[in-house]
Structure 1
Amino acid sequence: LEDAGYYCIDNLPANLLSQTMIFLEASGYDKVGITVDARSGDSFLALPELVEQLRLHVDLRLIFLESKTETLVRRFSETRRRHPLSSDERSLREAIVLERELLSEIAQIGHHIDTSDLSANALRGWVKDLISLQSSRLTLLITSFGFKHGIPLDADLVFDVRCLPNPHYDPVLRPQTGRDADVIAFLEGVPEVAEMLADIQAYVTKWLPCYIGDNRAYLTVAIGCTGGQHRSVYFAEHLAAHFATLEQTLVRHRELR
């Protein structure tokens, strides 16, 4: 965020958020990024209501970063850092469980990004893309993934395309992805691919107004195949192209490096 020109504040106590926003606005800051400390006690529990109040007069986006428990344990172990909520009486895993409980309410009103399999550079690019869009419109996020690596935690809708022929079993196509011409030609030669793509487009098109009416800022559609290299990538790219004329659309491929 700082690279994008934002003034950033880290680990702000929740009870200081309103005062800080007033000060920043009076000081002329128009692009601000704030992380709020979960150790803020009772004031943190009131954060969801406070965020909704701020949204009435501030262009505010709430991004909620999350990860699988095993990934969090590994990250803390690798960095040898202490979890903010851990103690002599509370283990790392217990601290993570407690943190999820504390964040459960605020998580419901934020946009989720599952960082379990994201590199720092990928996360940086994803956040940069999100903040570049108009906050007044719903943003459709379309992601491909491989079921063998787990379903994305941030998915609102999940579609399974594993029943379609897999290019992986063709030695020529195996090292390629769903964005390559040979793989595209292979999949477009299968009638069921076009049929399933049309069905998914029709489903999302039908129910998109309902999600917009629910005052959502983001809707994440996840397309999964076995490894996340071919079929899901093809579908995600085509869905993004289809909906780009209707809504703000971003596409990412979790398993492509």
Structure 2
Amino acid sequence: MQIVIISGMSGAGKSYALQTLEDTGYYCIDNLPSQLIEALIQTPQIANLERLAIGIDIRGGKASLKEIPETLARIRQLYPKTHLIYLYAQQDVIQKRYNETRRSHPLIHEEKELTKAIELEEKLLGFLAQQADWRVDTSQTNVYELGLLLRARLGETPLPNFSLMFQSFGYKHEAPSDSDFVFDVRCLPNPYWIPELRALTGRDSAIIDWLQQHPRVQQLYQGMRDFLELWMADPEACQRTYLTVSIGCTGGRHRSVYIAETLYQHFRQKLGACVLLRHRELNYFTPYQ
């Protein structure tokens, strides 16, 4: 059985994440105290499942949170394919979402102000963020995009031992905080200043041809590729299950898209289906395969 545990801050999209997993064949249970997880997976009805997703958060209580690391360690001994995913967002985004839905924060009874309740929750869950196999910042991700991201990363097949995602983004829309490596390609020639290229993206042949004419583009790409090949020569030695490599330019539509596409194509040929692609500002993910 493969187990996905979804945790994170309230208002960061955990319920939508579980709905996505349920649609892809997982049996999902939300708001389960950590003390009950081991008893749950040992019941015959659950033990015979192929895929199980469990949601845990601050609603289970502070005492429940403290036991999660030891519980996870014991579960992984029985089920090595157990993955912890942590969802979070910037505090102002969480606060806006609560104001829009008019729901009460789980810690509002301890901290009368919403901002302080969010800060306390983030502090209490900090250790889970550090131990997570994959951290997802949903600050700039809507429900639809979160579902696409989870489907692309987890898929509808057994979880891979290693997943590599190349992600393009624009610095003017803020850099993603859930990256393992971030490369800045704003030093490259910018096709935005060519009027006939401005409306295109780095996936269009005209942009590709224009960028390939510049030696600096190829030099930077080669340097990034060599670095990643050296660093990922043995993925298991890297101690990473999920690896996100983000490439940023100013607007996230031209240079970063081209570099991310080129790196994706190279590593996809080498590593296969575990390599994925996301263009954040284009709302594009590699189709599930």
- Settle same-fold status: TM greater than 0.5: yes
Change (3 A) 1:88 1:246: same
Counterpart in 2 of 1:53? 74
Shift of 1:53: 2.1
Counterpart in 2 of 1:87? 109
Provide the secondary structure at the position in 1 that maps to 2:77.
coil
Counterpart in 2 of 1:239? 263
| Residue 112 of structure 1, aligned match among 135, 144, 162 | 135
| Residue 225 of structure 2, aligned match among 182, 201, 204 | 201
Deviations 1:188-209 (A, max 9, x none): 1111001100000011111114
Deviations 1:3-26 (A, max 9, x none): 111111111112111111212665
| Residue 143 of structure 1, aligned match among 157, 167, 187 | 167
Counterpart in 1 of 2:197? 173
Counterpart in 2 of 1:73? 95
Q: Distance in 1 between matches of 2:95 and 2:246?
A: 25
Q: Which one-letter code corresponds to 2:125 in the other structure?
A: L
Q: Distance in 2 between matches of 1:27 and 1:170?
A: 60
Counterpart in 1 of 2:282? 256
Contact kept in structure 2, 1:67 and 1:115, CA below 8 Å: yes
Q: Distance in 2 between matches of 1:206 and 1:25?
A: 45
Shift of 1:237: 0.9
Shift of 1:227: 0.8
What runs of 5+ residues in structure 1 fail to find an aligned partner? none
Counterpart in 2 of 1:38? 58
Counterpart in 2 of 1:227? 251
Q: Distance in 2 between matches of 1:210 and 1:102?
A: 34
Counterpart in 1 of 2:42? 22
Contact kept in structure 2, 1:15 and 1:44, CA below 8 Å: no
Change (3 A) 1:120 1:22: same
Contact kept in structure 2, 1:223 and 1:232, CA below 8 Å: yes
Counterpart in 1 of 2:120? 98
Q: Distance in 1 between matches of 2:75 and 2:111?
A: 37
What's the TM-score once normalised by structure 2's chain length?
A: 0.83
Counterpart in 1 of 2:149? 126
Change (3 A) 1:134 1:188: farther
Counterpart in 1 of 2:286? none
Contact kept in structure 1, 2:169 and 2:279, CA below 8 Å: yes
Change (3 A) 1:112 1:70: same
Q: Distance in 1 between matches of 2:160 and 2:206?
A: 39
Shift of 1:224: 0.5
Q: Distance in 1 between matches of 2:120 and 2:143?
A: 25
Q: Distance in 2 between matches of 1:69 and 1:139?
A: 28
Moved more, 156-165 or 14-23: 14-23
Q: Distance in 1 between matches of 2:181 and 2:47?
A: 41
Counterpart in 2 of 1:161? 185
Change (3 A) 1:46 1:209: farther
Deviations 1:141-188 (A, max 9, x none): 111111111111111111000011111112221221111111111111
Q: Distance in 2 between matches of 1:120 and 1:145?
A: 19
Contact kept in structure 2, 1:67 and 1:153, CA below 8 Å: no
Number of residue-to-residue matches in the alignment = 257
What's the TM-score once normalised by structure 1's chain length?
A: 0.93
Moved more, 14-23 or 80-89: 80-89
**Is 1:3 matched up with 2:23?**
yes
Shift of 1:211: 5.5
Shift of 1:239: 0.8
